[in-house]
Each structure stands twice: as structure tokens, then as C-alpha cells.
């Protein structure tokens, strides 16, 4: 029989800070994600800076390598879904950069390009918070089995730029919301 702690962690989302991340950002994201997915959200023990994923030629970090490190983190293993948060610029070989990446159970988002400072613009905390939530919901949406959506106002629309991210926001369209309900309550 499962004990209570284990049954809670099985259905919870774990947030894994990778390297130095503002605690307030994680705390706010935890509360926001709890409202969106209606599941417990837990902040995990932080991981080291992802120097192992650094590619000098591109001056960026390979997100797939960090995803693998998240999967191997023993303390994170009992959780239903794992979302790593990193403040480094991420890439995959076929793209200039990525805001995030997801596999079936583990996802990652980067804060770097969500800040106005990256584009030499004055900081906007409210917009930044909205962007962090939008990217987090998008990548977690993938872990729950959702693909990309053609609706440019749905969070599952593929975001190629901050213009896309800011237009769509963090909400699912009705169709994706329906799929999420179906997928996230179904445990094979």
C-alpha cells in the first residue's frame, strides 16, 4: 500500500531550480502552476549550474543534456512531472535557441530570453511573470501529451518569438483544455 506522502508526490509537479534562480520567481510560478493544473506543485532541491551542457562555439547550453540530468536526479524521481528552471540560453542543434523543451515526463524552461534586459529594454516584472508562466504551462502541456495547437491565442501554439509568447498567454483553448483533462486524469 502507498503511504500518503508517496501518493501525493506521484500526482505532483516538481519544480527543479538549476543553478542560481531568484527564489521569488520559483515561488510565484509554483502558485501560478497550482492554479492552472490544479495539482500540488513542489519546489525541489536545487541542481548545480549546467556547465556540463555548455557549448562554447554557440555560447549556449544544450537543453537535451539538461533534460537528461533532470531525469537522473534521484530526489525528483517520485514526481509525476518535473519542470527544470534555468537562467541560461538554451538551444537544440536545429534551432537558434529554444524557450524550453519537453519529453514525456520532464521539461525545462529558460528565463534568459523572457527578460526585457536580454533585448536591452527596461524591465517589466508583470510581463516577465506572465512569460515565465506561459512557457512553463506550454512545456508541461507537452508532458501531459498535448501537441502544438494552431490557435495563436492558445498556450500550446508554437512560440518562435516573444511576440508569439505575449500574444498567446498562459491559457489553453477549449480543445486543448479538454484534451488536458482527459490525458492528465488517465493513468495507465
Partnered with residue 84 across adjacent β-strands are: 16, 108
Work out how close the CB of 47 gets to Zn ion at its nearest, in angstroms, rounded to a whole number.
Answer: 23
Answer yes or no: are the C-beta atoms of 21 and 111 closer than 8 Å: yes
Residues 46 to 65 in contact with Zn ion, rule: CB under 5 A: none
Work out how close the CB of 139 gets to Zn ion at its nearest, in angstroms, rounded to a whole number.
Answer: 7
- Distance from chain centroid for Cα 59: 22
Identity of the residue, 29 or 180, whose beta carbon is nearer to Zn ion in the bound complex: 180
Strand 41-43 and strand 13-18: the pairing is: parallel
Strand 60-62 and strand 90-91: the pairing is: parallel
Residues 98 to 157 in contact with Zn ion, rule: CB under 5 A: 149, 151, 154, 156
Catalytic residue among 75, 80, 139, 171: 139
- How far is Cα 149 from Cα 173, in angstroms, rounded to an integer? 9
Q: Binder to Zn ion among 47, 83, 106, 173 (CB under 5 A)? A: 173
95 by DSSP, 3-state: which? coil
- How far is Cα 82 from Cα 106, in angstroms, rounded to an integer? 5
Identity of the residue, 112 or 151, whose beta carbon is nearer to Zn ion in the bound complex: 151
Identity of the residue, 73 or 151, whose beta carbon is nearer to Zn ion in the bound complex: 151
Identity of the residue, 68 or 151, whose beta carbon is nearer to Zn ion in the bound complex: 151
Partnered with residue 16 across adjacent β-strands are: 84
Sequence-ordered strand ranges (E) for the chain: 13-18, 41-43, 54-55, 60-62, 81-86, 90-91, 100-102, 106-110
Window contacting Zn ion (CB under 5 A); options: 9-17, 31-39, 86-94, 168-176 = 168-176
Q: Binder to Zn ion among 83, 140, 176, 180 (CB under 5 A)? A: 176
> Is 139 a catalytic site residue?
yes
Work out how close the CB of 86 gets to Zn ion at its nearest, in angstroms, rounded to a whole number.
Answer: 17
Binders of Zn ion: how many residues, by CB under 5 A? 6
120 by DSSP, 3-state: which? coil
Work out how close the CB of 174 gets to Zn ion at its nearest, in angstroms, rounded to a whole number.
Answer: 8
Catalogue the active-site residues: 139
Binding site for Zn ion (CB under 5 A): 149, 151, 154, 156, 173, 176
Amino acid at each position: 500500500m502507498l503511504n500518503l506522502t508517496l501518493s501525493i508526490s506521484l500526482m505532483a509537479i516538481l519544480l527543479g531550480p538549476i543553478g542560481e534562480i531568484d527564489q521569488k520567481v520559483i515561488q510565484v510560478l509554483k502558485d501560478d502552476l497550482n492554479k492552472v493544473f490544479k495539482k500540488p506543485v513542489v519546489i525541489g532541491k536545487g541542481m548545480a549550474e549546467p556547465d556540463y551542457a555548455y557549448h562554447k562555439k554557440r555560447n549556449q547550453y544544450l537543453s537535451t543534456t539538461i533534460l537528461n540530468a533532470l531525469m537522473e536526479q534521484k530526489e525528483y524521481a517520485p514526481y509525476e512531472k518535473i519542470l527544470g528552471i534555468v537562467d541560461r540560453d538554451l538551444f537544440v542543434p536545429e534551432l537558434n535557441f529554444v524557450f524550453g523543451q519537453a519529453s514525456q515526463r520532464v521539461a525545462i524552461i529558460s528565463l534568459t530570453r523572457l527578460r526585457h534586459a536580454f533585448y536591452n529594454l527596461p524591465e517589466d516584472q508583470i510581463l516577465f511573470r506572465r512569460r515565465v508562466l506561459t512557457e512553463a504551462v506550454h512545456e508541461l502541456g507537452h508532458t501531459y501529451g498535448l501537441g502544438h495547437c494552431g490557435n495563436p491565442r492558445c498556450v500550446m501554439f508554437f512560440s518562435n518569438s516573444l511576440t508569439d509568447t505575449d500574444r498567446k498567454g498562459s491559457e489553453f483553448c477549449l480543445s486543448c483544455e479538454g484534451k488536458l483533462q482527459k490525458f492528465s486524469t488517465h493513468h495507465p
